């Protein structure tokens, strides 16, 4: 062979081995991309925080040259979790304190419609100022007690305050116990709130979350998120859901909301009822253990009725909190009257612990997103039979809700429920047919569907080319682990946009 021919053959061979330059190559893992029709792979390449390609080890390693190679050591990689219902804001804004009997007592008594025999207001404080307990609900309680033994107890787990006495065991006092509880907390200044939020965000990252939907947000919260993102301190994709009030509406209507790489603010929520345990959920038929009582009536706020058309036309997301089937009926009929068929407005109904067949059809017909918190069932099942009798069999129908539009957003409702995502996975492994989701469907609901409910599914929620590298590294495969093994699944690393935001080691 001539020297010229040899040189030409070397040039051809070199061109066949062209290597594309990327920032990172993650390899030697089990990659669960959750992309439709894509089998598990072994490696993927990342450039500018986004996934370039997912594929077999040899293919990715031969095709791409990287500044950083990360050996996954045969661990499991899957999309990071998106918590679709969370109350970090509430517990970051306030700090518990003991309220003396002279403070706020008269106003509280008047608000609750009680007489002046109430003598004590008390708060069981958190163990320390900034340490949020693992089980918030068991360590926080506010109560008023009268000399006759009657008492008022407000517990976050009940979604309401309740009045107890020998003659009237249960009486609804507030449809939103979180807001009622917070009246007796001191306001944290902005610096303290930001500090506490960052602690909570780090906790979320450690549990594999890459996104959170923060409820009851205010305009001040929007500014805090903007500042955290500008300072590169924000390690989550945040969907702020504004509390439904005139002040927030005025800002939303005037500005059109706010959307950046990590923060989205175009949603507003309204409470329609309370919880089943406190009998403050609104039911179509009476409670099984309370004769002729079906909970409070449900009304759409006047201001929302006037603004509903603007919500749709301006691209704002309407969100209702509805637990009982009567509240679900009001919510679905109202949303349907505005949405008028298939759409991409992504209006949501939170909780939906009870919903009738006709209302399910409205969810399907008008593309409404069900957003549920399965971990609540692990606690609620203790009282369900007593509260709603045979209706319990059709309640918490997660599988049925998912099949309506192939979308079911999953949230923790922390601190009302545990933040651990595998508690939700455990609940979704329930044997009852209407509650049981296949493992892949459950994990999709906890990742991609949460991102979809926040309009972030084009950039996060699955490991697809062009999306941000938002993922977790686990020591076990959640697709094959048995329910009694969920507690052994550990998050070793969490990445947001290819950036390491949590490392157990």
**Residue 31 to residue 474: CA distance in whole angstroms:** 11
> Tens digits of per-residue pLDDT, 109-160?
555 444 444 443 333 332 222 233 333 333 344 444 444 444 445 444 444 4
The pLDDT value given to residue 463:
96
Q: How many CB atoms lie within 10 A of CB 194?
A: 18
| Mean pLDDT on 173-198 | 64
Q: What is the pLDDT of residue 179?
A: 53
pLDDT interval class at 217 (50, 70, 90) = very high
In the prediction, which pLDDT does 429 show?
A: 85
Q: Degrees (nearest 5) of the Cα angle 331, 434, 361?
A: 35
Mean pLDDT along residues 341-348: 97
Instruction: List pLDDT tens digits, range 80-107.
Output: 999 999 999 887 876 544 333 334 444 5
Q: Which domains does the chain have, with CATH numbers?
A: 3-74 (2.30.40.10), 81-87+189-503 (3.20.20.140), 96-186 (no CATH)
Range with lowest mean pLDDT among 33-37, 183-187, 298-302, 398-402: 183-187
C-alpha–C-alpha distance, residues 91 and 131, integer Å:
11
pLDDT-derived band at 192, boundaries 50, 70, 90: confident
* Per-residue confidence (pLDDT) for residue 52, from 0 to 100: 97
Q: What is the pLDDT of residue 457?
A: 97
Cα separation, 194 vs 224, in Å, equals 7
The separation between the first and the last C-alpha atoms of the chain, rounded to the nearest angstrom, is 57
Tokens of 267: 């949603």
Q: What is the CA angle 368-372-374, rounded to 5?
A: 155
pLDDT beyond 70 at 382: yes
Answer yes or no: are the C-beta atoms of 151 and 133 closer than 8 Å.
no
What is the enclosing helix (H) or strand (E) of 26? strand 20-27
pLDDT over 90 at 202, yes or no: yes
Pick the range with the lowest mean pLDDT from 255-264, 381-390, 454-463, 491-500.
Answer: 381-390
With a pLDDT cut of 90, the percent of the chain lying above it is 62
Sign, CA torsion 66/71/77/80 = negative
The predicted pLDDT at position 189 comes to: 75
Look at residue 131 in the predicted model and tell me its pLDDT. 31
What's the pLDDT score for residue 410?
98
**Res 2: pLDDT:** 60
Query: In whole angstroms, what is the distance from residue 240 CA to residue 243 CA?
Result: 9
Give 286's pLDDT tier (boundaries 50, 70, 90).
Answer: very high
> For residue range 235-247, what is the model confidence (pLDDT) as tens digits?
999 999 999 999 9
The rounded mean pLDDT for the chain is 83
For residues 135 and 413, give the distance between their C-alpha atoms in angstroms, rounded to a whole number. 12
Q: Looking at 12-26, 55-69, 341-355, which range is the least confident one?
A: 12-26
**Tell me, what's the pLDDT at 18?**
57
Least confident of 14-18, 307-311, 327-331, 410-414: 14-18
């Amino acid at each position: 062979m001539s020297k010229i021919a040899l040189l030409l053959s070397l040039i051809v061979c070199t061109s066949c081995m062209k290597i594309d330059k990327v920032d990172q190559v993650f390899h030697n893992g089990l990659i669960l991309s959750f992309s439709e029709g894509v089998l598990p792979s072994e490696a993927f390449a990342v450039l500018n925080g986004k996934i370039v390609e997912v594929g077999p080890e040899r293919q990715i390693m031969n095709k791409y040259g990287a500044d950083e190679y990360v050996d996954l050591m045969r661990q499991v990689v899957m999309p990071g979790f998106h918590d679709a219902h969370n109350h970090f804001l509430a517990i970051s804004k306030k700090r518990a304190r003991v309220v003396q009997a002279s403070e706020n007592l008269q106003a509280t008594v008047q608000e609750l419609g009680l007489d002046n025999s109430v003598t004590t207001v008390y708060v069981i404080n958190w163990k320390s100022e900034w340490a949020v307990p693992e089980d918030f609900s068991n360590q926080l309680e506010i109560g008023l007690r009268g000399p006759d033994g009657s008492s008022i107890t407000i517990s976050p787990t009940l979604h309401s305050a309740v009045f107890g006495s020998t003659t009237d065991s249960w009486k609804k006092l507030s449809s939103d116990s979180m807001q009622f509880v917070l009246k007796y907390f001191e306001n944290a200044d902005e610096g303290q709130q930001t500090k506490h939020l960052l602690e909570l965000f780090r906790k979320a990252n450690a549990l594999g979350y890459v996104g959170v939907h923060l409820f009851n947000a205010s305009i001040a919260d929007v500014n805090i998120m903007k500042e955290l993102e500008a300072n590169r301190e924000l390690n989550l994709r945040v969907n702020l859901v504004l509390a439904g009030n005139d002040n927030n509406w005025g800002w939303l209507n005037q500005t059109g909301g706010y959307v950046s790489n990590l923060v989205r603010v175009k949603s507003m929520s309204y409470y329609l009822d309370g919880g089943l345990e406190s009998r403050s959920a609104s039911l179509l038929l009476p409670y099984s253990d309370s004769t002729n009582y079906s909970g409070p009536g449900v009304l759409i706020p006047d201001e929302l009725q006037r603004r509903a058309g603007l919500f749709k036309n301006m691209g704002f997301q309407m969100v209702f909190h509805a637990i009982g089937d009567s509240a679900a009926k009001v919510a679905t009929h109202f949303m349907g009257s505005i949405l008028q068929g298939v759409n991409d407005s992504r209006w949501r109904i939170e909780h939906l612990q009870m919903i009738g067949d006709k209302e399910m059809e409205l969810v399907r017909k008008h593309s409404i997103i069900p957003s549920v918190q399965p971990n609540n069932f692990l606690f609620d099942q203790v009282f369900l039979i007593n509260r709603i009798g045979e209706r319990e069999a059709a309640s918490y129908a997660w599988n049925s809700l998912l099949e309506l539009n192939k979308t079911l957003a999953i949230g923790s409702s922390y601190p009302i429920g545990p933040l651990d995502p595998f508690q939700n996975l455990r609940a979704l492994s329930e044997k009852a047919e209407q509650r049981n989701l296949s493992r892949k469907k459950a994990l999709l609901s906890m990742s991609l569907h949460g991102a979809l409910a926040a309009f972030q599914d084009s950039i996060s929620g699955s490991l697809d080319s062009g999306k941000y590298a938002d993922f977790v590294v686990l020591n076990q495969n959640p697709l094959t682990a048995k329910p009694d093994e969920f507690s052994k699944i550990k998050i070793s690393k969490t990445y947001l946009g290819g950036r390491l935001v949590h490392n157990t080691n």
